[in-house]
Structure 1
């Protein structure tokens, strides 16, 4: 996080192309904010979507898909939540108490992080006029708080607009992957950023969730950057012909 700015943008915009948005790319906790948790928890999925920053960086630098990347941990302010969501400054996550967020000044966190991030994203997307938006996330194979194992290697989430997701589900499956369709959770309940910046503007989008063990290493991140870029490009082509 540089000069208090809760995002960075990588790659050159080419109007009418494909872009990528990464809400949970960072585990950074800015000075002056004390979460009250063990430092090792910042390397877990509760603080950051493991692997996605490396995938997005490679897509921007090697595949001409520019990215808008968060630079603050979701435990500080979850940029992938509505402002009025209780989870926008989470007090618990996957069974872990976040003591520093209990009684936190939520309005200040929104002003410092959430609103600047989304205002800049709105301007960036207006300038990009993208034919397709990728929202890139990752999910843990197993929640510490319990529940079934998550067998999907990649998943597509969507709310009302599934026109791009339908193509990508098929294309990932053709690569021999186990693909989730609105799993391990549904975009009909959790799709805040794309609801606001894609569905509300009629922009086709792919909310892609990659299982974290698939992209934990740099070599895997490079492979998935190529795969996601290819699927997104073929999805955009299919949408053009629809």
Structure 2
């Protein structure tokens, strides 16, 4: 079995199109979407419309939950922008997505951890973020990883949320985060201020293949696309923090500084 693993598209339609075109030439058996599909200042409705007819196995992320349940005044700016773009058909499609799913009897999909769409699985946030220095983020320890998995031990666990491409192992469980198709850097304040940076603007995804012995082989993939066009769309919607991240893969301006001045 060959699986293309996508996550955290965040309304970045040109990045999604580039990844789907690459996937189409690889003879995969299934393409998975691990959530956080539309939220952001890019093309939220158009991205959903691109995905709806594909009928990919898809789960919801925290941003789907927030878009559908929070009042606009309590939403962050990325969710609020997307909420203003979506119609009834888009919302109905998002509302039908499960929070987790089994692809088969050994492949489990979640957005954050098996029990939470907000908690990072393979990363731990620390209270030491410094501009130009510590990111406030480190790789989870083996004990932290085991605690967040709980009793769930599939052969392959697929997650997203952090936008950090990473593969780890807990016992016999291989855990894969494909990274983000749509946004290669961001800052956040939950539970402490931290930033995530991949260091290049390429769309990220992963390819997992099960061999005849039942072992999983994983490739982390980087796909070029027109990130300047995506950054220009973010600029049009007064999100210079997104524009910086889309062009470079690094945090430039922080979300709070951009949204406070807009």
TM-score, with length taken from structure 1: 0.34
**Which has more helix, going by share of residues?**
1
TM-score, with length taken from structure 2: 0.32
